[in-house]
Amino acid sequence: MQKSAKGKTVTFPIDVWYDEHSKRIHVATNDAAPEADDYIIAVSNDPEKANGHPTLFRRLKKILQAQGAPAPPDEPKPEK
């Protein structure tokens, strides 16, 4: 893990994957919390859920798609 020269940001590796069963995108690292074995966050597209964050979900989905990794399916566009 590295801290920026100004000390305001840190840089560390993360793993990101989509779990088709839970319909969530997971973000994990082994570097962020040294006292823990690992650190995993699950992000849902449902704003009503405690872990719901549609904007972050869409952005992570685009990253997964751009890398050719399994990603959530595209939502159908509403008909006009």
Per-residue confidence band for 80, with pLDDT thresholds at 50, 70 and 90: low
What's the angle, vertex CA 36, arms to CA 60 and CA 11, rounded to 5? Answer: 45
Please, which residues bridge with residue 2 across strands? 11
Contact status, residue 5 vs residue 17, Cβ threshold 8 Å: no
For the cut 90, the answer to whether the pLDDT of residue 69 exceeds it is yes
In this structure, what token pair is assigned to residue 18? 């989509």
The Cα 67–Cα 17 span in angstroms is 11
Per-residue confidence band for 26, with pLDDT thresholds at 50, 70 and 90: very high
Lowest-pLDDT range, 14-18, 24-28, 30-34, 59-63?
30-34
The Cα 55–Cα 57 span in angstroms is 5
φ/ψ of 17, rounded to 5, equals: -150, 155
